[in-house]
Amino acid sequence: MVPRYSRPDMVAIWTPEARFKIWFEIEAHATDALAELRVVPKEAAAAIWEKGAFEVDRIDEIERETKHDVIAFLTNVAEHVGPEARFMHQGMTSSDVLDTCLAVQLAKASDVLIADLDALLVVLERRAREHKMTPTIGRSHGIHAEPVTFGLKLAQAHAEFARNRARLVAAREDVATCAISGAVGTFANIDPFVEDYVAGKLGLSVEPVSTQVIPRDRHAMFFATLGVIASSIERLATEVRHLQRTEVLEAEEFFSPGQKGSSAMPHKRNPVLTENLTGLARMVRGYVTPALENVALWHERDISHSSVERYIGPDATITLDFALARLTGVMDKLVVYPERMLKNLNKMGGLVHSQRVLLALTQAGVSREDAYRLVQRNAMKVWDSDGALSLLELLKADPEVTLSDAELEDKFDLGYHLKHVDTIFARVFGAA
């Protein structure tokens, strides 16, 4: 966790204090369930809630001797509870506490990330509607293709992040499972009722088969989902970076008063936020492979996954939380230049309308091969002139082009390309 790229609500989920508080709740709820089963005295269960406490420093001190974090925790709690503490952890194993705690933390982290996505979706919809009919050039391979609108670019991003939200909701459900099944997961020394009880108290579902650990395919899917969201962040950030290039300059990050772009060149206004988002996306994706490799544990359990998850649990969620909030801020304040978009669209002498002429020629009886040849040979003249020549005028002057001047002029209508924008918006945002 890097403080520079962290926000307090997400960080709070992963503090030692938060972790041990969840551990305590798991142990206390489990003891309540055991008391209902008359395995332990009800007075002991009540004493744990009444007297139970812990100190992070003391747990660390005990662990330096025991080399076991759960035992250190239980020892410290027992120092507060007294003799009744012997009824804690009855029939349980360390993974019951650790895995169930991780499920709670990942569920809480998911809730923060889902809220982040909701905030981003609101901004993307607002900006998409703002620029619904703002014409700009669509590019394939980085080269001018045909007209689109800037609103359509943002609608695409909205649809992508809406899918990501649905994926995260599903991943949250998948990872939020409770295991209180004892050694090797057989419930030999603890009744399944305890697991049901604790799961209900913590808002988790019951893990159907926990082999002493919750199967890590669940966690692999969760972190893979975070990786997909990070890639979507990078996709939109890369679009902004390209649009901010001096040669394009159709949109740019907000440049605040007093902000500096370069220590050497006072004129610079760099896309530093979206470049930062590109780097953060790489980090989140970097946590996916270790999560996948955690799936293959030895037999009923080993702890090769443990050290991995102590890194990737906090780091992936904290980093993605920061990245989503930063992207929301970038898109909220993004400076858009419609005039420059239109200027760039018209830069190449009407080449962007070449397909319409091609289709019109084929409908007029010209073979597709000949139609392509006629349009291309004139288009290449415009290309070689860097847009100084007009495709429309060249086509009018070409004796082999059988379309009338009026028919040709009709094929250069910009509005034609935008006729289905409403249809696409209705698909993304619903009917107006």
Query: Are the beta carbons of 352 and 147 closer than 8 angstroms?
Result: yes
Spell out a b/e string for 321-355, using b for 16 or more CB atoms within 10 Å of the CB, else e.
bbbbbbbbbbbeebebbbeebbebbbebbbbbbbe
Structure tokens at 117: 């996505």
Say which of 205, 262, 307, 404 is annotated catalytic. 262
Catalytic residue check, 417: no
Residue at 423: amino acid letter:
T
Catalytic residue among 29, 80, 94, 141: 141
CA end-to-end span of the chain: 43
Distance CA 128, CA 162 (A): 14
Among candidate residues 353, 336, 335, 356, the one with its CA nearest the CA of residue 345: 353
Confirm if 319 and 280 have CB atoms less than 8 A apart: yes
Q: Give exposure, 153-166, as e/b (b: 16+ Cβ within 10 Å).
A: bbbbbbbbbbebbe
Alpha carbon distance 20, 70 (integer Å) = 9
- The beta strand positions in 184-312, using DSSP E, are 205-206, 251-252
Q: How far is Cα 181 from Cα 191, in angstroms, rounded to an integer? A: 8
Tokens 């000949």 locate to 370
Cα(154)–Cα(125) distance, rounded to whole angstroms? 7
Long-range pairs of 169-173 with CB within 8 A, sequence gap ≥ 24: 169/110, 169/114, 170/225, 171/110, 171/221, 171/222, 171/225, 172/106, 172/107, 172/110, 172/111, 172/114, 172/222, 173/205
Decide: 405 and 392 in contact? Cβ < 8 Å.
no
386 backbone φψ class: left, alpha, beta (φ>0; ψ -120 to 50): left
If you search the block for the tokens 């009880």, which residue do you land on?
Answer: 197
Say which residues have a Cβ less than 8 Å from residue 115's Cβ, sequence separation at least 6. Answer: none
Known active-site residue 141: yes
Catalytic residue set: 141, 262
